[in-house]
Amino acid sequence: MNSTLIKNITIIGAANGEVIENTSIAIENGKIKGLGNDLSKNSSNYSQIIDGEDGFLMPGFVDAHVHLLANGFQNEDYMNDPLSYYFYKGLNAAKLTLEAGVTTVRDCGLVDYGFKLAASKKLFTSPKLQISVMPLSITGGHFDITLKSGHDMIVKYPGFPHPICNGVEGVIAKTREVARAGADFIKVMATGGTTSANDKTDDIQFNIKELKAIVDEANRLDRKVATHCHGYGGLELSIKANVHSIEHGTSIDKKNAKLMVEKNIFLVPTFSVMKDQEIAAKNKTLAENKIEGTLKLVKMHKENMEIAYNQGVIMAMGTDSGVQEHGNNLSELSYFVKMGMSPLEAIVTGTLNSAKCLFLENKIGSIELGKSADLVFTKKNPLDDISILKNKNNILMIFQDGGIVKNKYID
């Protein structure tokens, strides 16, 4: 029997986000077996005992929006790098993400079934994965990376779908193709993006008939839809189509926030990447024709996320890592607090709420009996200062299914 006792800890994120002080947790065969002070009375019950010395234990964090196989979406990389190197960089991104305290991710484009399969078999260090394989994009849309030269920058290899689809029949076929390729959910580009080759952020992409067709077909295949939305029109159509989550949500207003609450649609704000894009615009490392619009977009995003939060829209944590550097995922929590959340609410958003977004709340997201022992340990109190979680050096131990995958605490 493989059993571990962690004693003398404060648990942040038990059932319903509860905080339990001066307690212990028992782990057995990868699951949370027990909670409470009395667990430490009989040390012979455990193969390993860890004294937390008044440290803090949280559920493993869930990042609902990453791109593990992207590194800034640089076209030169896709032109120059061998395909094998592209995947090896993904292994490093997965390791950096896990070591930041993120034990589960939802990859919103590029990770394929083989990568997920290898991760699940522990062939490399990685968060647990839900994948979309390839986002759906219209011709000339946010994931159409065909340059004016005619060169298509999308990575190509056997079994990996191409993103482009148009018309009701076309989007239904592409949804089926992506699902066949192993997608757990369907990612859709409903508006343009800040880094797009061929569009603007407020451009509407798929029309309402196409979006509804995607959602209906995804539901038939027992999958949900997440839409990339900056502009107002695409966001409004996504809500009408009853998508499961909206990524970025930059143009959300009070009316649409109320509709999202009514329909239980998640919002994944991705503050981190918006800040990254703001820095790029100010440093003029974005394309010249994108700078002014990006700065306006960032300001709008900040204001509108506060509107969404105050209207009660349920939020999940997502960073869009891959557009920005990997491994800084928990910086997102500080933006939630700046928006108005308490540190505890931010932690619950990054754990239980995000697990709910992935339909995994019965397995992960809180420290409760029977759930997977995906845990993060720190000696500093994040309820006093949420920003301590930004620094990976403050994350001293990480458990995944009860196994220690990062250890800077015990010998």
Whether 257 shows a pLDDT value over 80: the answer reads: yes
What does pTM read for this prediction?
A: 0.96
Q: Give the model's pLDDT for residue 1.
A: 61
Q: Spell out the domain ranges in the chain.
A: 3-60+365-407, 61-329
What would the 3-class secondary structure string for the chain be? Answer: CCEEEEEEEEEECCHHHCEEEEEEEEEECCEEEEECHHHHHCHHHCCEEEEEEEEEEEECEEEEEECCCCCCCCHHHHHHCCHHHHHHHHHHHHHHHHHCCEEEEEECCCCCHHHHHHHHCCCCCCCEEEECCCCEECCCCCCCCECCCCCECCCCCCCCCCCECCHHHHHHHHHHHHHHCCCCCEEEECECCCCCCCCCCCCECCCHHHHHHHHHHHHHCCCCEEEEECCHHHHHHHHHCCCCEEEECCCCCHHHHHHHHHHCCEEECCHHHHHHHHHHHHCCCCCHHHHHHHHHHHHHHHHHHHHHHHCCCCECCCCCECCECCCCCCHHHHHHHHHCCCHHHHHHHHHHHHHHHCCCCCCCCCCCCCCECCEEEECCCCCCCHHHHHCHHHCCEEEECCEEEEECCCC
Equal CATH topology for 3-60+365-407 and 61-329 = no
Q: Give the model's pLDDT for residue 349.
A: 98
Kindly report which listed range (160-174, 176-190, 244-258, 283-297) carries the lowest average pLDDT score: 283-297
Whether 410 shows a pLDDT value over 70: the answer reads: yes
Pick the CATH number of 3-60+365-407 from 2.30.40.10, 3.40.50.460, 3.20.20.70, 2.60.120.380: 2.30.40.10
Kindly report which listed range (64-68, 153-157, 250-254, 386-390) carries the lowest average pLDDT score: 153-157
Pick the CATH number of 61-329 from 3.20.20.140, 3.40.190.10, 3.90.1010.10, 3.30.70.380: 3.20.20.140
348-401 per-position pLDDT tens digit: 999 999 999 999 999 999 999 999 999 999 999 999 999 999 999 999 999 999
Q: Give the model's pLDDT for residue 293.
A: 82
Tell which wins on pLDDT, 116 or 147: 116
Q: Give the model's pLDDT for residue 258.
A: 98
Residue 71 — very low, low, confident or very high, per pLDDT cuts 50/70/90?
very high
Instruction: Please state, for a pLDDT cut of 90, what percent of the chain lies above it.
Output: 83
27-64 per-position pLDDT tens digit: 999 999 999 988 877 778 899 999 999 999 999 999 99
Instruction: Please state, for a pLDDT cut of 70, what percent of the chain lies above it.
Output: 100
